[in-house]
Amino acid sequence: MTEISIRSLRSADRENWQDLWAQYNAFYGREGDTALPAEIVDTSWNRLLDDNVPVHGLVAERENTLIGLTHFVFHPSLIRIADTCYMQDLFTLKAARGLGVGQRLIAAVGDACVARGVQDIYWHTHSSNETARALYDRVAQNTDFLVYRPQLD
């Protein structure tokens, strides 16, 4: 089987990353009229590559093509000295699902945390996302917390 490697995002990935990112956003209904504006895509890309911004990206690569991505953010916590890690996005190309890419990307975020002295990772998923939950239930604990989001005018 062709080898799949996990590595950090780099500047040459822009086009391939943007294609995967668009597919991930489409999964959440952000496509067509509701697609992310180019300004947001550009800003997020620049943040991902900026060492001074605590936003990071890892990708899965097979035969020089990206087939998966994860983005994660380090932020301070008031109940520990070290930062906490929020894994914001996880996506595997449809044609590459079920090969362990998602699990390996999560493990690689864990490695990035350990390298930084971070011992806490969390993420959200929709309760109806059974595919993702099957994976998450294997590698993490469901905390049963709900996410609330008020409308700010």
Q: Is 109 in the site for ligand COA (CB under 6 A)?
A: no
State yes or no: residue 4 binds ligand COA (CB under 6 A).
no
Asked if 90 interacts with ligand COA (CB under 6 A), we say yes
20 binds ligand COA (CB under 6 A): no
Distances (CA, A) of 92 to 12, 96, 114: 19, 6, 23
Q: What is the DSSP string of 71-89?
A: EEEEE--SS-SS-EEEEEE
110 lines the binding site for ligand COA (CB under 6 A): no
CB of 78 or CB of 95, closer to ligand COA: 95
Q: Give me the torsion for CA of 56, 50, 147, 123, rounded to 10°.
A: 10
Tell me the three state secondary structure of residue 93: coil
Binding site for ligand COA (CB under 6 A): 27, 68, 90-92, 97-103, 125, 129, 131-132, 134-135
